[in-house]
Structure 1
Amino acid sequence: MVWSGDWPKDPGDEEILATAYREGRILVTLDKDFGELAILRGNPHCGILRLVNLSTKEQSIVCLQVLQLYRDELFSGAIVTAELDRVRIRPPENRA
């Protein structure tokens, strides 16, 4: 696990997404901007999990559950949005 908050300076959303992709990592975020980078700009990624409206304690519980249940979808390039009682999955676009 890598937390971008440990980096010496914030490289910006595009570089965070690019680093996760280069390292073959699923990006877990509270920020919808990463999904917009992936969908609207077509930035490559290895899956994005966005957590919405969750307390800090709920974030860890939901994150672990979603990673266990939807690991394959995420690694195939899906964007998953997870709330306490709801999960939405946007499958990856057809990759050429």
Structure 2
Amino acid sequence: MKLLLDTCVWGGVKSGLESAGHDVVWLGEWEQDPGDEEILAIAHRSERILITLDKDFGELAIVKGAPHCGILRLVNLSGRQQTAVCLRVFELYRDELMTGAIVAAGLDRVRIRSFNET
């Protein structure tokens, strides 16, 4: 899967997801944070699922109708837990994410809002 990790996601997640065969870009390696609206636009243009801790991206997608290619929001996880939860979500909900769902996932709970805004 093609993924874009927000700056708030632990940097170690990048190597963990790459080791699992994913194409990953981490915004923490960029010199400047372009802001939420531009991050979502970049993810959409590059056909990447956005992974974040930030609720604002869901609001941009749902309320403002910003186009996206799927959003995974990690909820109440330590940095070390983030990779495992991402991989579990990809295994169980890959199809939903690939069709533009917004997924909120923690250790014991997953919520999915399925729709395609692309």
Q: TM-score range by the shorter chain?
A: over 0.9
Report how many residues are paired. 95
Whole-angstrom distance in 2 between the partners of 1:71 and 1:23: 18
Q: 1:79 aligns with which of 99, 102, 115?
A: 102
Q: Give the ranges of 4+ consecutive aligned residues of structure 1 lying more than 4 Å apart after TM superposition.
A: none
Q: Distance in 2 between matches of 1:82 and 1:32?
A: 12
Per the TM alignment, residue 38 of structure 1 is displaced from its structure 2 partner at its CA by 0.3
Alpha-carbon RMSD across the aligned residues, in angstroms, is: 1.4
Which residue does the alignment assign to 1:89?
112
Task: Give the TM-score normalised by the residue count of structure 2.
Answer: 0.77
Note the 1:53-68 alignment, pairs <5 A. Answer: 53-68=76-91
Q: Mind listing any 5+ residue stretches in structure 2 that lack a counterpart?
A: 1-23
- Determine which of 57, 69, 74 is the counterpart of 1:34: 57
Identity of aligned residues (%): 68
**Partner amino acid for 2:98?**
F
Equivalent residue number for residue 13 of structure 1: 36
- TM-score for both structures, normalised by structure 1: 0.93
